[in-house]
Amino acid sequence: MQVENEATAVEGRFELLVQSVTDYAIYMLDPTGIVTSWNAGAERFKGYKPHEIIGQHFSRFYGEGDRAAGIPERALQTAATEGRFEAEGWRLRKDGSRFWANVVIDPVRNPGGQLIGFAKVTRDLTERRKADEELRRSEERFRLLVQSVTDYAIYMLDPDGHVTSWNAGAERFKGYRVEEIIGQHFSRFYLDEDRAAGVPARALATALNAGRFEAEGWRLRKDGSKFWASVVIDPVRGDNGDLVGFAKITRDLTERKRAQEALEQAQQAFYQSQKMEAIGQLTGGVAHDFNNLLAAIVGSADLARRRMGQGQDITRFLDNIMEAAQRGATLTQRMLAFARRQDLRLEAVDLAALVRGMAELLERTIGSGVTIDTQFPLTLQTVRADPAQLELGLLNLAVNARDAMPDGGRILISATRAQSRVQQGLAPGDYVCLTVADEGTGMDAATLEKSVEPFFTTKGIGKGTGLGLSMVVGMAEQFGGKATLKSTPGEGTAVTLWLPAVLAAAAEAPAPTAQVGRMKAMTVLAVDDDDIVLLNTAAMLSDLGHTVLQAASGAQALQILGRTAVDLLVTDYAMPQMTGGELADAVRAGWPELPILMISGYADLPTGVRLHYRRLAKPFRQDELSAAIAEIVPLPVSGEVVEFRPRT
């Protein structure tokens, strides 16, 4: 009796457990398929109450097509013979609506093994099926999208780099059909040298470690031809974060690459044509101005020779020749300044003192119709500049300002402190802005843009060289600064020179003192490969009282030094076979105490020569030559005679 009670209690608890399950339909069938029990879960999503369904055949849950096909009977037969039946499919609710069900049927047998019925568990998976179907449709849409793209190769790689998918775009411009490339390693698209350098492996490693790889480069088609590709590789990870492969997108940019190269070639050709145009303009301007100067020199020299033969005074013709030559030297300096190649002597310059010292020159040059005002702060840092070149630049700017005010006006020369910023194109530091402003006609944007070009002038033919402003720009850049221009039509123009400020300690450094005394007569070796220049240099030295030996090359000069005592070497720099710098180095090795004066018409001497030897720029006058010699030759003490004899 007690055992029966316990069994009854267990069955009761089991019944309560089954009835409490609402997410599953759990019910019993007799061996023929008649429903014999019904839980709350079955009632919830099938819609039948127990009294409505118990005693009914379970086939009513199937659609007419399934019943006609005998699917319910086959399900019971499979469960009875195989011990289990499981399937998914559409089933019917009481109201006739369908739901997607997962069905499990197990046979129930008594202890003697006789079939007494079936246990049937059904789960409503309609929502999951909807999600799966939506995912399937989404994947299908994505597959169709990828397959329809023909401008991009979009495909997948496994973690080792083997191709696992292939779209129409990849087939179109890489040439491989799906069956030819699936399973192949993607490195076959790379050039041999890229594969040897490990580029494909690095691409996958970068994508894996950095989360993305992107590059452009040459890739190979199936037929071996090259194309320029833009490549993006992204790692693909599963829900658990494990790497499942790589997504690779490639675009054929060959036409764009060719168009870009063609554009660059066209730009280079355009730049070259601009250079040729600028060279032509420069050459034409130089030829025009030098022809004018040569006309004056040749004409005056011819007249001087004729008048001298007649015993007449030729002083004015010689003065005319000197004036033309000085103008030529000034023009050359302007051209070198424009080219940033003139020889500079940078030192600390007090701008206020320099402008005050130029006052008389400016007033005399500008004339009485224009007033010049200055505006400087009480204290102003000195600047690093060549005072002679800066004076010439200011004079040019003042003349330009005067010419822009034909009816007179005011020129303001002012200075302010400033600091550079990176975007201003200057080295960081302190600067002084020196500005020359006028109230003249001004310039429009197009004229302002061309104003710094060589030989461009608004003054009319014969009234300006067109090199003044370009010289100022070049000069400022050689100082380590720059020049800026602002102009408004009808309101005037302002040119500002940004000049590097000098630290106080550097500005206060004492200047070297010049030697004072009388130079002794010396034996001077003059070297120049140009006979005309050598003749003039030798004549100037001889006129200064020196004995002059002449050499037309560095090798000849060394031969003379080997057999003759010489007190001074004066050599040109630009000579064939052995330059003046090379000659000077050879002389320094053999005659280390021999003073050397280097003469050059250019500012392109090597740094070592610039530092070790005194330079004299062409053209030069006799007094400039004498002053340069005085700087490097020690004065005799108490009648001492200093000789530099050849090495034995």
Quickly list DSSP for 54-88.
Answer: TTSBGGGGS-HHHHHTTHHHHHHHHHHHHS-EEEE
DSSP-derived letter for residue 241 is: S
CA distances for 16 relative to 23, 25, 43, 402, angstroms: 15, 14, 15, 114
Residues 6+ apart with CB under 8 A from 89: 66, 100, 101, 103
CA distances for 37 relative to 8, 101, 291, angstroms: 17, 19, 124
Residue 48: count of CB within 10 angstroms of its CB: 19
Residue 606 to residue 584: CA distance in whole angstroms: 12
Q: Are strands 482-488 and 523-527 parallel, antiparallel or unpaired?
A: unpaired
Structure tokens at 231: 């490549």
> What was the pLDDT predicted at 234?
93
Task: Give backbone dihedrals phi and psi of 507, rounded to 5 degrees, phi first.
Answer: -70, -30
Structure tokens at 108: 């129930």
422: Cα within 13 Å, side-chain hemisphere: 0
Structure tokens at 148: 């329809």
Residue 156 to residue 163: CA distance in whole angstroms: 6
Verify cis geometry, omega within 30 degrees of 0, for the bond prior to 111: no
Residues 6+ apart with CB under 8 A from 329: 619
Positive or negative, the Cα torsion across 141, 147, 148, 152?
A: positive
Positive or negative, the Cα torsion across 522, 528, 531, 536?
A: negative
Q: Is the pTM of this model over 0.75?
A: no
Residue 597: count of CB within 10 angstroms of its CB: 22
Residue 47 to residue 122: CA distance in whole angstroms: 13
Written in H, E and C, the secondary structure of 82-97 is HCCEEEEEEEECCCCC
Burial pattern 383-413, b for ≥16 Cβ within 10 A else e, equals: bbbbbebbbbbbbbbbbbbbbbbeeebebbb
Burial pattern 502-535, b for ≥16 Cβ within 10 A else e, equals: beeeebeeeeeeeeeeeebebebbbbbbeeebbe
**CB contact at 8 A, 104 and 120:** yes
The label of the residue with tokens 């050849």 reads 646
Q: Which tens digits make up the pLDDT trace of 575-619?
A: 888 988 889 989 989 898 899 998 876 554 554 444 467 788 777
**CB contact at 8 A, 102 and 75:** no
Q: Which tens digits make up the pLDDT trace of 210-228?
A: 999 999 999 999 999 999 9
Residue closest to 498 by CA, chosen among 424, 596, 609: 424
192: Cα within 13 Å, side-chain hemisphere: 2
Residue 616 to residue 172: CA distance in whole angstroms: 72
> What was the pLDDT predicted at 645?
43
How long, in residues, is the chain? 648
Burial pattern 352-379, b for ≥16 Cβ within 10 A else e, equals: bebbeebeeebeeebeeebebeeebeee
Q: 230: buried, middle or exposed (CB in 10 Å: 19+, 13-18, 0-12)?
A: middle
Q: Which residues, given as ranges, of the chain have pLDDT below 70? A: 1-22, 135, 138-150, 271-290, 330-344, 421-424, 450-468, 503-519, 601-612, 635-648
For residues 626, 630, 631, 632, the Cα torsion angle rounded to the nearest 10 degrees is 110
The alpha carbon of 621 is separated from its chain's Cα centroid by a whole number of angstroms, namely 48
Q: What share of the chain is helix, strand, coil (3-state, %, to 5)?
A: 45, 25, 30
DSSP per residue, 168-233: HHHHHHH---HHHHTTSBGGGGB-HHHHHTTHHHHHHHHHHHHS-EEEEEEEE-TTS-EEEEEEEE
Residue 338 to residue 298: CA distance in whole angstroms: 28
> What was the pLDDT predicted at 639?
44
**CB contact at 8 A, 80 and 111:** no
